[in-house]
Amino acid sequence: KRIILVGPPGCGKGTQSPILKEEHCLCHLATGDMLRAAVAQQTPLGLEAKAAMDKGALVSDDLVVGIIDEALQRPSCAKGFILDGFPRTVVQAQKLDAALEKQGVKIDKVLDFEIDDSILEERITGRWIHPASGRSYHSKFAPPKVSGKDDITGEALIQRKDDTAEVLKKRLTSFHEQTTPVIEYYAQKGIVKKIEAEKSANVVTEEIRKSLA
């Protein structure tokens, strides 16, 4: 299966992706995670992306399309993939379609995580992540066994630099202005499935399972 997860910051894309990945043997491509890795390694690409990410703006289409084009060549992605946080503009969606067409494949389903903006601040400001594995926790909704420590390695958890109430506002504006048209783009192809993302994580997982069955 080739699946796109789309929705605002904190809607649950990164939480649901590992479950989908396991159950359907897909590769998980999250442009946000890839960009944060590039920033941490101070690669030229990371240096270029950092300023936009810190202020909650989108990184240039050419940069992210380049990353995704390269990732889609991986043998592990040949059978199927989950795109988490990509495409985020109509230009990115068009470029993705063109790249997939060359491979003779297409997107099967777009899961549109619907959630009210008012819920997202609590989700975002309470998120804690284990940088090495990408595992994420929430101080209220998914707390680690030991406060501030990763359940598996015991290593320290950190907060993302862009996970402040102030930067969230900018990320939400980017989402509504630039990414909502992407949902419309795929709706015209009849492949969008709405997911009620306000429900608890387990309920959302069930809904996704049903929609992919």
Applying CB under 5 A, the residues found at the interface with Zn ion are 13-14
**Contacting residue, 19, 27, 37, 52, with ligand AP5 by CB under 6 A:** 52
The angle that helices 180-187 and 90-103 make with each other, rounded to 10 degrees, is 40
Alpha carbon of 89 to those of 46, 139, 175: distances in Å? Answer: 20, 32, 9
Whether residue 1 lies in the annotated active site: no
The Cα 130–Cα 154 span in angstroms is: 10
Query: Which of 36, 50, 127, 135 is labelled catalytic?
Result: 127
Q: Residue 64 touches which of ligand AP5, Zn ion, none (CB < 5 to 8 A by kind)?
A: ligand AP5
How near is the Cβ of 45 to ligand AP5 at its closest, in Å? 12
Question: Residue 151 half-sphere exposure, CB side, CA atoms within 13 Å?
Answer: 10
15 touching ligand AP5, by CB under 6 A = yes
Cα 18 → chain centroid: 11
Contact of 208 with 15, CB cutoff 8 Å: no
How near is the Cβ of 69 to ligand AP5 at its closest, in Å? 12
What does the binding site for ligand AP5 look like in residue numbers (CB under 6 A)?
A: 7, 9-15, 31-32, 35, 52-53, 56-59, 64, 85-86, 88, 92, 123, 126-127, 136-138, 141-142, 171, 200-201, 204
Residues catalogued as catalytic:
13, 88, 127, 160, 171
